[in-house]
Structure 1
């Protein structure tokens, strides 16, 4: 649902509280405290207003979060893209976008659900990077969607995942209660979990590039 602009306020003066100001304040709160729930009350305090004043622009919290998500998506494009080859540029885009998405874990479901054309610039940029491959429009679209959905999906996973060291410690404790055969098979893996998580996104990047390269071989 799109937010609406207020028509209140004195003639000749901009409204004291605008949707744009509310959205920007909400974005700043998420960047400052990404793990704190973004509530109407917190945003109202940030703009020096009462919660009811925000409801004149946004009927509920979901509508506000959707507007903030759309605003963040529109700012995500890393420009210029580094790298001399399309493979390097795709990797750069995915690394930079992941870093920019992580502070906005609360917005990721809303980013996926957006119905606004805020992603057009990114869509066009990725298509431009991949155009030299000579893919059909169908495969080019698939490649662009693969890059975007993989990046957003991994950011969503990583934002909710506990630290790898904590996961390994919990699994190590639980392994003591498992059958001997399972302990023998699993125990050698647990010390390597932190390193595996550290390498995971680069492996995801490699697999994404490989998948796009395979489209060019069909």
Structure 2
């Protein structure tokens, strides 16, 4: 099993002098994913974008998985500067979650990387460390804080994926006779009060429920 990309030098020691830095490679791959999705990113495609051969990239990376890990961590660096906690840890975590959602909007392919098993990079670890710092005043076990941060990320990814998918399909052409509750809900008059911020309500409820109940 090969070592983690984070434990290896940024470039190999053999062969001719490298023409591109690891950062240039990752930036090119990120631009490609932003434009055409993660499926467009391959070692050969990135090499072509840089005007070099695919084989040359293996002086910097062992595989496409290495490249994906570097892309994810580079994107995590965009979460800086981190929102400060102050006296309101819940409000600070909500600001962090909103920044995450904005990140996923800029880089929709990040949502597809969340399920991958990979070693976190320095930017991802710095973000997680900051979240734990924000939660330091909360009298809950460390395990509960880890779970809360992970669940917050899960909520953010669900909202991001929902935005990417667009509005749900309607019921045109479907006989709804057997689904009276759906019909009632779909045809109900809108509430007079303005709709609440569902993202904020969900993030606050998840964090408060996990951390307050665990205290």
Q: Report if the CA contact (8 A) 2:26-2:70 is conserved.
A: yes
Q: 1:124 to 1:56 in 2, by over 3 A?
A: closer
Match of 1:76 among 73, 79, 87: 79
Deviation at 1:115, TM superposition (A): 1.1
Instruction: Return the TM-score normalized by structure 2.
Output: 0.73
Q: Distance in 2 between matches of 1:75 and 1:114?
A: 19
Q: 1:47 aligns with which of 45, 50, 53?
A: 50
Runs of 4+ in 1 over 4 A off after TM superposition: none
Deviations 1:184-218 (A, max 9, x none): 221233468xx9x99432232121232122223xx
| Separation in 1, partners of 2:85, 2:48 | 40
Which structure 1 segments of 5+ residues have no match? none
Alpha-carbon RMSD across the aligned residues, in angstroms, is 3.2
Pick 1 or 2: higher relative contact order, CA cutoff 8 A, min separation 6: 2
Shift of 1:64: 1.6
More helix by share: 1
Look up the match of 1:97: 100
Gaps of 5+ in 2: none
Distance 1:120 1:36, change over 3 A: closer
* Residues 148-193 of structure 1: per-residue CA shift (max 9 Å, x gap): 34324532563365212xx1xx33125x234x131x221233468x
Deviations 1:46-98 (A, max 9, x none): 32223332244334323321221233234434423376511110110111112
Relative to the length of structure 1, the TM-score reads 0.72
Report what 1:145 is aligned to: 147
